[in-house]
Amino acid sequence: MSTTMKGAKTDFGVNFADGRIKGYGLVDPHGREKTFYVLYVRGNPNYGVNQYSDNLDGTIKDRATGLTWMQADSGESMDWPTALKYAEDMEHAGYSDWRLPNAKELQSIIDYTRSPDTTDSAAIDPLFKCTEIINEQGVKDYGNYWTSSTHVNTSGAAQAVYFSFGRSLGYMRDRFTGEGAWLDVHGAGSQRSDPKVGDASLFPQGRGPQGDAIRIQNMVRLVRGGEAVRVTQ
């Protein structure tokens, strides 16, 4: 995992107020060490440890979860309804039951030891193929990937969850100079949300306290197996 916010040491945490997973800086803007709440757990020490095998047909099996993943992503970005149709129409390796993963499933293949700034790769095992993009900073990066999970908030069901397999950008202004710039504000592997449809050009400086980049057009990696729940638009 790389640093965020211009070099801040960062740990991942869950924001139980909005359901997102983000990298949080360990010190505040004044250099004071921050404190966080912790939930402890015991048992099942192998939880979250992937057991991948290459099926040599363009799919990857994770024996830890029983899920089978497409080795390659969609190769192009799309809005959420189009992502659902992409999954519905997919036939690959003799199967037609491919689907958009839910948030928990997609999070299970994040590799938090990898990032564009530490390993020059997406935050995923190198068995998988990730399409390179040019991000809002104008540099090589990796995309955000849709899930089937709707992010219900004050705007109702208009948002869907995605994971950043590359930098998790936001538009921030320097508190001294007022100059704005795109920064990796939450780190590769963060979970945020985008409008399911719309015009990303309406958000030239992102949205929210950290100016989260709004793309609406995101990548897709399909999965099969597990407990499928039918999702409608």
**pLDDT single digits (tens) 98-134:** 999 999 999 999 999 999 999 999 999 999 999 999 9
Closest to 78 (Cα-Cα) out of 188, 174, 160: 160
Q: Tell which phi-psi region holds residue 54, choosing left (phi > 0), alpha (psi between -120 and 50) or beta.
A: beta
The model's confidence at residue 1, banded by pLDDT at 50, 70 and 90, is: low
| Distance in angstroms (rounded) separating the CA atoms of residues 91 and 96 | 4
CA dihedral for 215, 21, 132, 172, sign (positive or negative): positive
pLDDT, tens digit, for every residue of 55-74?
Answer: 999 999 999 999 999 999 99
What phi and psi, each to the nearest 5 degrees, are found at residue 54? -85, 115
Mean pLDDT of the chain: 93
202: DSSP letter: G
* Per-residue pLDDT at 176: 82
Question: To which H or E segment does residue 11 belong?
Answer: strand 10-15
Question: Three-state DSSP class for 36?
Answer: coil
